[in-house]
Amino acid sequence: MFVQFLRLEIKSFFRGTSVGVNLAMKIFRFLGIISIVAYCIGAAFLAFFYVSKEMEQDPVKVVSKFMIILWVADLIFKYMLQQMSTQNIKPFLTLNISKKTLVNYMLIKTFLSPFSWMNSFFFVTFAVICMFNGFGILGSLSWLIALSLLFYLNNFINILLNNKENIAIAVGILFAAIGGLGYYNIIPILNYSEKLFYSFYDQPYFTLLAIALFAGLWWICFHHVKKEFYLDQGLEDKKTFGKTENIAFLNKYGAIGSFINNDIKMLRRNKVTKGVLIGSFMFIFYGLLMFSSPIYKTPYMMMFMGLFVTGGFQFLFGQRVPSFDSSYYPLMMTLNVPYKEYLKAKWWLMNIVTAASIVIALFYAIISWEVYFSFFAAGLYNIGVNSQFTLWSGAYTKTQIDLNSKEKVMGQKNSFNMKSLLLLIPKMLLPMAVFGISKYFFGMTAAVVSIAILGMIGFLFREKIFDIIVKQYKSEKYSTLDAFKSKN
């Protein structure tokens, strides 16, 4: 039966209405997966030989020491990006197929995701290197099996946390609190991690604990999914009662104010858009990576980070216009909607949030004023230039978005477009090059002024640029409508 399910998945892929786009996305995803696999294998070699030769320490102990951090990061990564697909399995509920088989297939399918098995290349490579360099074969194999199972446990934890945002937030706060206690050496978390994970190598029978934990969570997850495995219960689309609310003062700004009003209500009400707001807020702290490596303190990288710190909302919201309106976009196109005002409303909303991000990012002045001024310059560029290029790239994004479901899958089939990639040049590479060169030859003040001038030029010519953007949206109108109407 499992083989039959896989055959149907393959047929679904090749018989869809978007086979060409699907294939292009699969190729690029495959190249990305190959790159990550290569990094994992290289990291295994680096972890073993650098620790054993340069640090002259036991590589298994050192890797085990930091394994708790990797495990938590893997859990967070899977929670943000991976979810259990139920759409393809719904038709089988009306057939003579046991529910036990369907649930087990769905659980097994989560292990086929690249998010689940890519990190295994690190563990396998590291264990093989250990065995070829005098470490015990039994201990290396038990360490490999135990860690692989513990990382696969994150699939089950992710399923159990799905649609339980309050519990997920509580778990996140707990992890943050424990991490803080470990960072300030109140609790030696890394020492406990070393003892726990190294015990799988030093005492192989501890691997039975990992096997038992894996089997136990599979059983719990199986019964959790099976209990809600009904079309009118766990698999049905969630319905909520709407409530009327209005931000009155925005209505005096005409059509633009009405569109902004609608977007604010959309951001407040729906799961996906709430995720955008949370993600945008988290982007503000992206600059804290400067503490981890000197490379981030170069002018080019400071500008790169500043673009994300101040422009997180732009990148998460702006480039998915009009995908957020996909549910009623066909209806909207039958009405006398002023397209330019519709896009201007998105533009003003993005820039208001960008301006707020610039103010919030003031705490980076604690690191240095140079860092904050770099981020300030990036914010000006985001307001004057990137806001318009981000809207422009949205014309080529034709991904349907269900606002009532938690969107956690990357690389959707209609989101890839070569024109969107080309627009990354003025969005990212141009400000990095101008800022880096200006700072190198003329200093910090000249670098900020040069970026501010670019932002001012973009702001002054916004009407001309909007005319071009509106023209592109209209030229892509019918292909966008076709994509939004397609259910495949």
Q: What is the torsion angle, in degrees rounded to the nearest 10, for the CA atoms of residue 316, residue 317, residue 320 and residue 324?
A: 130
Residue 384, token pair as written in the block: 């004057």
Backbone angles phi, psi at 292, to 5 degrees: -90, -25
Report the pLDDT value the prediction gives residue 149, as an integer from 0 to 100. 92
CB 201 within 8 A of CB 58: no
Report the pLDDT value the prediction gives residue 242, as an integer from 0 to 100. 47
Instruction: Tell me how far apart the alpha carbons of residues 85 and 232 are, in angstroms, rounded to a whole number.
Output: 17
Report the pLDDT value the prediction gives residue 232, as an integer from 0 to 100. 53
Report the pLDDT value the prediction gives residue 212, as an integer from 0 to 100. 94
What is the CB neighbour count within 10 angstroms for residue 313? 26
The segments of the chain whose pLDDT lies below 70 read 1-28, 83-94, 96, 163, 230-249, 251, 289-297, 404-426, 486-488
Instruction: Tell me how far apart the alpha carbons of residues 312 and 306 are, in angstroms, rounded to a whole number.
Output: 10
Each domain of the chain, given as residue ranges in start order, spans 2-227, 248-485
Percent helix / strand / coil, the chain, rounded to 5? 80, 0, 20
Residue 119, token pair as written in the block: 């990190």
Instruction: Tell me how far apart the alpha carbons of residues 73 and 255 are, in angstroms, rounded to a whole number.
Output: 44
Backbone angles phi, psi at 290, to 5 degrees: -60, -20
Q: What is the torsion angle, in degrees rounded to the nearest 10, for the CA atoms of residue 408, residue 414, residue 420 and residue 422?
A: 110
CB 100 within 8 A of CB 219: no
pTM (two decimals): 0.57
Instruction: Tell me how far apart the alpha carbons of residues 467 and 335 are, in angstroms, rounded to a whole number.
Output: 20
Residue 482, token pair as written in the block: 């076709």
pLDDT tens, residue by residue, 206-264: 999 999 999 999 999 888 888 877 655 544 544 544 454 556 667 677 778 888 888 88
What is the residue-wise DSSP string for 165-224? HHHHHHHHHHHHHHHHHHHTTSS-HHHHHHHHHHHHHHSGGGHHHHHHHHHHHHHHHHHH
The CA radius of gyration of the chain, in Å to the nearest whole number, is 25
Both ends of the chain: CA-CA distance in Å?
Answer: 24
What is the CB neighbour count within 10 angstroms for residue 370? 17
Residue 273, token pair as written in the block: 């858009």
If we measure between CA atoms, which residue out of 375, 376, 322, 386 comes closest to residue 351? Answer: 386
If we measure between CA atoms, which residue out of 24, 31, 34, 77 comes closest to residue 412? Answer: 24
pLDDT tens, residue by residue, 58-75: 999 999 999 999 999 888
Which H/E stretch holds residue 375? helix 369-381
Residue 429, token pair as written in the block: 């590479």
If we measure between CA atoms, which residue out of 397, 425, 424, 390 comes closest to residue 412? Answer: 397
Report the pLDDT value the prediction gives residue 293, as an integer from 0 to 100. 55
CB 383 within 8 A of CB 354: yes
Residue 144, token pair as written in the block: 């490999």
If we measure between CA atoms, which residue out of 420, 432, 437 comes closest to residue 382? Answer: 432
Q: What is the torsion angle, in degrees rounded to the nearest 10, for the CA atoms of residue 196, residue 200, residue 202 and residue 205?
A: 120
Residue 53, burial from CB neighbour count under 10 angstroms (0-12, 13-18, 19+): exposed
Angle (deg, nearest 10), helices 462-475 and 387-394? 10
